[in-house]
Amino acid sequence: MPDSGRKSHRDYPWTGCGSDKDLAGCRFSLYPLDNRYAKIVLGALAKVDVSKIFSQTDALSTVYRGRLGQVFDCLSALFVHSYRENLHVCLEAQAMLGCPGDDDTDQPPPADDLIVNRKGLLGQDFLVKAKLALYPLGLADYLPIIAEAFDLAKNADLKPKIIHYATMIEGPVLKVFDYLQDVSAMAQGKVSHHALHFTVSVNSPTGK
């Protein structure tokens, strides 16, 4: 279809001005497949140092907002803190940058660049499987950006495999989260608004 000129979010009163800010966000749900899921989720959330970001939990999910690196630092910490031997846990997450429909509420604390969780995660190198789907929005020629995300996974030795509607990867947990952050940073450099949906899974009984 023809592309009409891109409007500003100000043309839509129902939208805010999130796209005016370099504010990364991630909405996610953690699913420990176990009767103790509530205790495991709340325990993992409590172990994450969220002093550098905004964090809010509702009935369906939790949202982190802040600088991209600090949001992914907290997200990777959350997943590592939920780890139990032989417990199948999945994280379903939606990372976003530059959404013109977002608003400027719920800002993180005054910014610095400190990554506060990673040092406590070093040595955590359990293997995970993951899948991702990247959506660069608002431009016609978006396929090359998706292709670059696939190439980044190859370069990171994460064994990317194209499946319908997504790319499957596998590797050490922190390397996988670092890659997902790199994909979002790459997309941020090429398009004003993108979403990155991903699933990270550990201890799945399905080996395939």
Burial class of residue 75, CB neighbours in 10 A (0-12, 13-18, 19+)? buried
CB of residue 187 to a second copy, shortest distance in Å: 12
The answer to whether residue 101 forms part of the interface with a second copy (CB under 8 A) is: yes
Six token digits for residue 107: 């800002």
**Binding residue for a second copy (CB under 8 A) from 116, 121, 133, 156?**
133
The answer to whether residue 137 forms part of the interface with a second copy (CB under 8 A) is: yes
**Shorter beta-carbon distance to a second copy: residue 31 or 156:** 31
Residue 90 contacts residue 198 (beta carbons within 8 Å): no
CB of residue 137 to a second copy, shortest distance in Å: 6
Residues 170-189 that bind a second copy (CB under 8 A): none
Q: Residue 77 CA to chain centroid, in angstroms?
A: 12
**Binding residue for a second copy (CB under 8 A) from 146, 152, 156, 185?**
146
CB of residue 60 to a second copy, shortest distance in Å: 5
The answer to whether residue 84 forms part of the interface with a second copy (CB under 8 A) is: no
The answer to whether residue 46 forms part of the interface with a second copy (CB under 8 A) is: no
The answer to whether residue 73 forms part of the interface with a second copy (CB under 8 A) is: no
The answer to whether residue 201 forms part of the interface with a second copy (CB under 8 A) is: yes
3-state secondary structure of 101: coil
**Shorter beta-carbon distance to a second copy: residue 79 or 118:** 79
Residues 2-41 that bind a second copy (CB under 8 A): 3-7, 9, 11-12, 14-15, 25, 27, 29, 31-35, 37-38
**Shorter beta-carbon distance to a second copy: residue 120 or 188:** 188
**Binding residue for a second copy (CB under 8 A) from 51, 107, 155, 204?**
204
**How many residues of this chain bind a second copy (CB under 8 A)?**
73
